[in-house]
Amino acid sequence: MKKNYFFTLLFTLFSFHLFSQTIVSTSPENKRAIVEEATGIHCWACPDGHSILQAKKDQYPGQVFAIKAHGGTFAWDCDPNGGHDFNNSYAVAVENLMNLNGWPSAAINRTVFSQYTDTGGTGMGRQFWSAAVDQTLQQSAYVNVGVELIPNFSNNSVDIHVEAYYTGNSPQSTNYMHVAILLDGVVGPQGSAETYNPADVVSDGPNTSYGHNEYDYLHKDILVDMYHGMSGDPITTTSSGSFIDRTYTYQVPAIYNDVEAFLTRMKVVAYISETQSQMIVNGNGAAIPFPEKDLAVVNLAGMQTVYTETEPMGTVKARIFNYGANPVSDFDISYQLDNGDIVTETFNGSIGSWGYSDHTFSTQFDSSSWEQDQFYTLTVTASTENDTNVSDNSYSLDLSRYSFCYPQSDCSFGDGMTSFSFGDISNLDSGCSPNGYGDFTDQSTDLVAGDTYDMSFVTGYGSQVFRVWIDYNDDSYFSLDELIVDNPMLGSGQGAGSFSGSLPITIPLSAPIGEHLMRVKSNWQTGVPDDACEETQYGETEDYTVNIVESLSIGEIEGSIINIYPNPSNGVFNINLNGEILLYEVANILGQVVADGRIENGDNMLDLSSNETGTYILKLTATSNGKFKLFKLVKE
Ligand SMILES: [Ca+2]
Ligand SMILES: [Ca+2]
Ligand SMILES: [Ca+2]
């Protein structure tokens, strides 16, 4: 009796003196749900995933934490002005841990749910997330985690204070603390947002400056960094009663890739994994509170960037987001072109916390005096007193006057393109166009994004160097990042004669859909100048039209990714499926079904060898809900 009393007293004293826990409970608790979500701007079902997780967060406040990893092929930015490159090596690593089967996928506490996984990994299709979260929250945890953030605004850093208390014994002598750094609330493009998660759409319609006219969307909980990389911070006291108290100081950079970072929009999810990379036992999250006042001009609402002689007047329209904790009303908003006069108007109305509005200026600008080949920078600024983050109160965009050029060169000795072909364009024996400029914009070819085409040149004079641009953003200006052929030489050191060559051109999957100008330009002996308007003594310029179309052979149904190759083929089509089982039907052009069956996850072969040559329509249907997609198959 006496002995027991002694031990109890000793333990109490130790507890009292050693543990000054402040943010973690010492009573046994259930797990919180730590959701690592593989997502992307161009994954059409991903906004549905965001919506599902938001519903779980709302259902269990403070119990569910999302970490959105933009690591896959759908995670590229289609805003020509940039600002939404959310990809990073940790996002890729988090996705790789899941053994995922298409986007979106999520791992809940890095646990394998045998009834929901279809790869044996921790990644699950979104139809299972809700149930997996429910189950996780019912499970007891042997360790509790608390986290708080102490921001230091003077040097843009944050102290991440984590505490962990073991209410039971871990089966592992070493566990690992991970700290995921998240950036919250970036406005940018998201495919199918208006269909699948309108709650986070922050535009009244499509934003025409985006590559596929996506709506503006509020991207949340973006994984931007891991404090200890993927390996975590070891915890070597993992038995019942162990108390862990650590503080990590994190310096918030100015940008992540091209995404501007703000201390006031940072969040952290801290979690403990049982082994280094698998099974999250428990975790918790914290966010820096919204500042009192914080307006931002997030973009210019898809306003026109190129102005013409016939329509020189421009209307300025800006999209404003309120990152502050309180509504903001009746503030000044202004615009300026280069160093010109500042036009100031009052925004009449109110924008709620984490809400948006557009402002269309009543005062227009006049571009008729603008010079050709010059950019004029438009800057729009919204101002409110005591704005915590002033750097995002202005947004700038380069505008220009339509200034199409017709460069002249001498091609009478045979310089230039005597023949040119690319896709369906076959401009043979064009010879030397008058003054070395040929307008062939009536010749056009479809080009499938992601596909590769041979481009062939014939010239009548040696040492001929070529550049080719596609004006992807349709501003009539051929910029260096629009080059698709960069100065190869034909007939090096030769004089008059016929020299030919070809090279493969792969159209990027990110190429904006639709018609664009293509400029083919040559120069003798040295490289074609960077300025696609610059005139050189010998050479030629030819303009064509290309029409970028979406891939026939790559598609997605309900998060399952389908890749069909080759297409066209001699009859045997390989169909690779990354996702759920699909049903297929192949119909001829009369609509008669000539084949049907199931497409399994992985590689499948569709054999139309015994069918006639021609075009077939492949219909792939999701078994879960009947959604389908059509593909054109061409048998040659
Ligand atoms: Ca601001
Ligand atoms: Ca020619
Ligand atoms: Ca351009």
pLDDT at 566 over 60: yes
pTM beyond 0.75, yes or no: no
Do 260 and 150 fall into the same domain?
Answer: yes
Do 105 and 249 fall into the same domain?
Answer: yes
Do 527 and 589 fall into the same domain?
Answer: no
Q: What is the pLDDT of residue 15?
A: 47
pLDDT at 3 over 50: no
pLDDT, tens digit, for every residue of 255-312? 999 999 999 999 999 999 999 989 999 999 999 999 999 999 999 998 988 887 777 8
Q: What is the pLDDT of residue 5?
A: 45
Contact (CB, 8 A) for 53 and 37: yes
Give the residue numbers spanning the domain of 81.
11-287
Q: What is the mean pLDDT of residues 439-456?
A: 92
Do 389 and 424 fall into the same domain?
Answer: no
**Band of residue 552 on the pLDDT scale cut at 50, 70, 90:** low
CA dist., res. 531 & res. 479, Å (int)? 8
**Band of residue 1 on the pLDDT scale cut at 50, 70, 90:** very low
pLDDT at 11 over 60: no
Does residue 15 lie within any of the structural domains? yes
Q: What is the pLDDT of residue 476?
A: 82
Residues in the chain, total: 636
Q: For position 567, which CATH number holds?
A: 2.60.40.3080
Coil, strand, or helix at residue 566?
A: coil
Q: What is the pLDDT of residue 18?
A: 56
pLDDT at 217 over 50: yes
Q: What is the mean pLDDT of residues 236-262?
A: 98
Question: Percent of the chain beyond pLDDT 70?
Answer: 96
pLDDT at 84 over 80: yes
CA 425 to ligand 3 center in whole angstroms: 21
CA 421 to ligand 2 center in whole angstroms: 11
**Least distant ligand from the CA of 262:** 1
Contact (CB, 8 A) for 408 and 456: no
Does residue 1 lie within any of the structural domains? no
pLDDT, tens digit, for every residue of 517-551? 999 999 999 999 999 999 999 999 999 999 998 77
CA 416 to ligand 2 center in whole angstroms: 6
pLDDT at 93 over 50: yes
**Least distant ligand from the CA of 264:** 1
How confident is the prediction for the chain on average, in pLDDT? Answer: 92
> If you write DSSP's letter for every residue of 463-511 in order, what string do you get?
SEEEEEEE-TT-SS---GGGEEEEEEEESTT--EEEEEEEEEEEPPTTS
**Band of residue 13 on the pLDDT scale cut at 50, 70, 90:** very low
Do 44 and 163 fall into the same domain?
Answer: yes
Do 321 and 185 fall into the same domain?
Answer: no
Domain boundary among 243, 266, 287: 287
Give the count of alpha carbons within 13 A of 204, CB side only.
Answer: 9
| Pair of tokens at residue 241 | 């009663």
Residue 115: left (phi > 0), alpha (psi -120 to 50), or beta?
alpha
Do 492 and 614 fall into the same domain?
Answer: no
pLDDT, tens digit, for every residue of 144-162? 999 999 999 999 999 999 9
Do 69 and 187 fall into the same domain?
Answer: yes
Q: What is the pLDDT of residue 19?
A: 65
Do 480 and 590 fall into the same domain?
Answer: no
Question: Percent of the chain beyond pLDDT 90?
Answer: 74
Does residue 34 lie within any of the structural domains? yes
Do 615 and 519 fall into the same domain?
Answer: no
Does residue 208 lie within any of the structural domains? yes
pLDDT, tens digit, for every residue of 41-66? 988 789 999 999 999 999 999 999 99
CA 211 to ligand 1 center in whole angstroms: 26
CA 409 to ligand 2 center in whole angstroms: 11
Q: What is the pLDDT of residue 17?
A: 46
Domain boundary among 287, 308, 335: 287
Give the count of alpha carbons within 13 A of 304, CB side only.
Answer: 13
CA torsion, ordered 561, 567, 569, 575, to nearest 10 deg? 0
**Least distant ligand from the CA of 294:** 1
Does residue 588 lie within any of the structural domains? yes
Do 174 and 148 fall into the same domain?
Answer: yes
Do 243 and 276 fall into the same domain?
Answer: yes
CA 163 to ligand 1 center in whole angstroms: 33
Determine how many CB atoms are found less than 10 A away from the CB of residue 630: 12
Distinct helix (H) and strand (E) counts, the chain: 5, 42
Total structural domains in the chain?
A: 4
CA 237 to ligand 1 center in whole angstroms: 44
pLDDT, tens digit, for every residue of 449-478? 877 899 999 999 999 999 999 999 887 889
Contact (CB, 8 A) for 300 and 316: yes
β-strand pairing of 306-307 with 394-401: parallel
CA 389 to ligand 1 center in whole angstroms: 4
Extended strands (E) in 212-265: 215-219, 222-226, 233-235, 243-251, 255-256, 259-260
Q: For position 322, which CATH number holds?
A: 2.60.40.10
pLDDT at 240 over 50: yes
Does residue 175 lie within any of the structural domains? yes
pLDDT, tens digit, for every residue of 176-216? 999 999 999 999 999 989 989 999 999 999 998 898 889 99
Domain boundary among 374, 401, 428: 401
Does residue 17 lie within any of the structural domains? yes
Contact (CB, 8 A) for 623 and 582: yes
Does residue 413 lie within any of the structural domains? no
CA 261 to ligand 3 center in whole angstroms: 29
**Least distant ligand from the CA of 434:** 2
| Residue 592, CA distances (Å) to 587, 595, 596 in order | 5, 9, 11
- Please list all protein residues whose beta carbon sits less than 5 angstroms from ligand 1, which is an ion: 294, 296, 387, 389, 392-393
CA 337 to ligand 3 center in whole angstroms: 21
Contact (CB, 8 A) for 367 and 315: no
CA 270 to ligand 1 center in whole angstroms: 28
